[in-house]
C-alpha cells in the first residue's frame, strides 16, 4: 500500500471518527500488504489520527475481534499521548513557576537599576561575614561610597545618562573587589561595600585606593566622556563597631568627613569626631535627602 493510500485512509478515519477497513489492494512492491484496518486515535474527545494494521490477506481476513483489539491498543496509545502532553504541560508550568520565584527573589534582594544587592541582601551577607570573622578572629570592613557631584550629571545630561553611569560604576566596583565581597546600592549615588576576612585595617585602605583609581578612569556613555570621583568612608570590625548598624553609621560619618576634606579621598572612622560629624551628617541628609552631592 502506498503512502497516498495511507494518507487517504487516515483522513477517512479522522473525518468519520470510526474504524475503516480498506478493500482488497493490489500487492505492494514487496508483495506483502493486501488490506488495511484503521481505527481512530482520539485525544480529549477529538480524533487526531489513526492506528493501522496491515494484512497480507484480503480485507475479509480482519475480524471483529481484530477491530476491538486494535481499538483497545489505540486507547492505550491515546492515554500515553495524553500523559505525555500532561507531563510537558507540568514541566512548562514548573519552569514558569521557578522563573517567577527567581524574579521575585531578584526583585526582593537586588537593586532594580544596577542588579547589585540591596540593603536586605547586604544584611544577610553581613551576618555570615561577621560569624566567620568571629570564628577566625579576623576583621571586616564596611565602606560607604558616594559619587562626587553626581547631581550635575543628571542636571546637564539627563537621568538616562545618570542611570547608565550608576550601572557602569557598579560594574567597576565589582571588578575592583573580590568575588567574596559585596557591593550594595543603597539608592541615589550611594553604594555600601562589605569586605570580609581582612588581616589588618590597612587592607581596607588599599582597597579604597584601588576603587578611587578605578572610578577616576573616564566613562564613555553614549558618546559622552565623563570624569567623576568618589568619596569613601571606612569602618572596621571590631575596631569601630560590633554590629551592622554601628559600622554602617560610622562608615557614613567617615564618608561625610571625606567630603569635607575636598572629596576624591577616603577616610577611616575616627571616634573623636563622632558627635560633631554625626550632627553635620544628619543636617546634610535632612537638607539633601538624595545624598550630600544632591
Q: Is the pLDDT of residue 279 over 60?
A: no
Q: What is the model's pLDDT at position 102?
A: 82
Q: What is the model's pLDDT at position 30?
A: 56
139 upstream amide cis, omega within 30 of 0: no
Instruction: Kindly state whether residues 52 and 159 are assigned to the same domain.
Output: no
Instruction: Kindly state whether residues 126 and 83 are assigned to the same domain.
Output: no
pTM value > 0.85: no
Rounded to the nearest angstrom, the gap between the alpha carbon of residue 244 and the centroid of all alpha carbons in its chain is: 27
Which SS3 state, helix, strand or coil, does residue 158 take? coil
Which range of residues forms the domain containing residue 168? 119-287
Instruction: Kindly state whether residues 138 and 70 are assigned to the same domain.
Output: no
Which SS3 state, helix, strand or coil, does residue 157 take? helix
Instruction: Kindly state whether residues 83 and 129 are assigned to the same domain.
Output: no
Flag the least confident range among 24-28, 82-86, 173-177, 216-220. 24-28
pLDDT tens across 173-220, in order? Answer: 999 999 999 999 999 999 999 999 898 989 999 999 999 999 999 999
Residue 293 lies in a domain: no
d(CA 86, CA 92): 10
Instruction: Kindly state whether residues 84 and 125 are assigned to the same domain.
Output: no
Burial class (CB in 10 A: 0-12, 13-18, 19+), 54: middle
Residue where one domain finishes, among candidates 41, 67, 89 = 89
Identify the helix (H) or strand (E) that includes residue 208: helix 202-216
Q: What percent of the chain has pLDDT over 90?
A: 59
Q: Are the C-beta atoms of 255 and 144 separated by less than 8 Å?
A: yes
Residue 102 lies in a domain: no
Residue where one domain finishes, among candidates 89, 109, 127 = 89
Q: Which of 111, 146, 148, 189 is catalytic?
A: 189
More confident residue, 283 or 239: 239
pLDDT class for 25, splitting at 50, 70, 90? low
| CATH number where 81 lies | 3.30.450.40
Q: Is the pLDDT of residue 294 over 60?
A: no
| CATH number where 264 lies | 3.30.70.270
Q: Is the pLDDT of residue 233 over 70?
A: yes
Instruction: Kindly state whether residues 140 and 273 are assigned to the same domain.
Output: yes
Residue 96 lies in a domain: no
More confident residue, 69 or 58: 69
Q: Is the pLDDT of residue 60 over 80?
A: no
Start-to-end C-alpha separation, the chain: 83
Instruction: Kindly state whether residues 60 and 149 are assigned to the same domain.
Output: no
pLDDT tens across 108-118, in order? Answer: 899 999 999 99
Instruction: Kindly state whether residues 132 and 231 are assigned to the same domain.
Output: yes
Residue 66 lies in a domain: yes
Residue 294 lies in a domain: no
Which residues, 6 or more positions from 27, have their beta carbon under 8 angstroms from its beta carbon?
Answer: 33, 34
What's the number of domains the chain is made of? Answer: 2
d(CA 23, CA 36): 8
Residue where one domain finishes, among candidates 67, 89, 111 = 89
Task: Copy the grid coordinates of residue 167.
Answer: 550601572
Instruction: Kindly state whether residues 81 and 160 are assigned to the same domain.
Output: no
For the question of residue 264 being annotated catalytic, the response is no
pLDDT tens across 125-168, in order? Answer: 999 999 999 999 999 999 999 999 999 999 999 999 999 999 99
Q: Are the C-beta atoms of 211 and 232 separated by less than 8 Å?
A: yes
Q: Are the C-beta atoms of 184 and 194 separated by less than 8 Å?
A: yes
Q: 289, 278, 288: which is closest to 255 by C-alpha?
A: 278
Q: Is the pLDDT of residue 76 over 80?
A: yes
Instruction: Kindly state whether residues 74 and 123 are assigned to the same domain.
Output: no
Residue 127 lies in a domain: yes
Instruction: Kindly state whether residues 142 and 202 are assigned to the same domain.
Output: yes
Q: What is the model's pLDDT at position 277?
A: 57
Residue 292 lies in a domain: no
Q: What is the model's pLDDT at position 27?
A: 54
Amino acid at each position: 500500500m502506498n503512502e497516498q493510500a495511507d494518507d487517504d485512509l487516515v483522513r477517512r478515519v479522522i473525518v468519520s471518527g470510526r474504524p475503516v477497513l480498506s478493500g482488497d489492494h493490489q500487492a505492494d512492491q514487496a508483495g506483502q500488504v493486501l488490506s488495511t484496518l484503521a481505527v481512530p486515535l482520539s485525544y480529549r474527545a477529538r480524533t487526531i489520527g489513526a492506528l493501522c494494521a496491515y494484512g497480507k490477506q484480503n480485507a475479509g481476513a480482519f475480524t471483529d475481534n481484530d477491530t476491538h483489539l486494535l481499538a483497545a491498543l489505540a486507547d492505550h496509545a491515546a492515554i500515553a499521548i495524553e500523559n505525555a502532553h500532561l507531563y510537558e504541560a507540568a514541566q512548562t508550568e514548573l519552569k514558569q513557576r521557578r522563573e517567577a520565584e527567581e524574579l521575585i527573589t531578584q526583585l526582593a534582594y537586588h537593586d532594580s537599576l544596577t542588579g547589585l544587592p540591596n540593603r536586605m541582601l547586604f544584611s544577610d551577607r553581613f551576618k555570615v561575614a561577621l560569624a566567620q570573622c568571629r570564628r577566625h578572629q579576623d576583621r571586616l570592613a564596611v565602606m560607604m561610597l558616594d559619587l562626587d557631584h553626581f547631581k550635575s550629571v543628571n542636571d546637564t545630561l539627563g537621568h538616562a545618562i545618570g542611570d547608565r553611569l550608576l550601572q557602569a560604576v557598579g560594574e567597576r566596583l565589582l571588578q575592583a573587589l573580590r568575588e567574596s565581597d559585596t557591593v550594595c546600592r543603597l539608592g541615589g549615588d550611594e553604594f555600601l561595600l562589605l569586605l570580609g576576612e581582612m588581616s589588618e585595617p590597612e587592607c581596607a585602605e588599599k582597597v579604597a585606593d584601588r576603587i578611587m583609581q578605578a572610578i577616576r578612569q573616564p566613562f564613555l556613555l553614549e558618546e559622552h566622556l565623563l570624569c567623576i570621583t568618589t568619596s569613601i568612608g571606612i569602618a572596621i570590625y571590631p575596631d569601630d563597631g560590633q554590629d551592622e548598624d554601628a559600622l554602617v553609621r560610622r562608615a557614613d560619618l567617615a564618608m561625610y568627613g571625606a567630603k569635607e576634606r575636598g572629596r576624591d579621598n577616603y577616610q577611616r572612622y575616627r571616634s573623636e569626631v563622632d558627635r560633631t560629624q554625626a550632627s553635620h551628617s544628619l543636617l546634610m541628609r535632612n537638607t539633601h535627602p538624595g545624598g550630600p552631592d544632591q
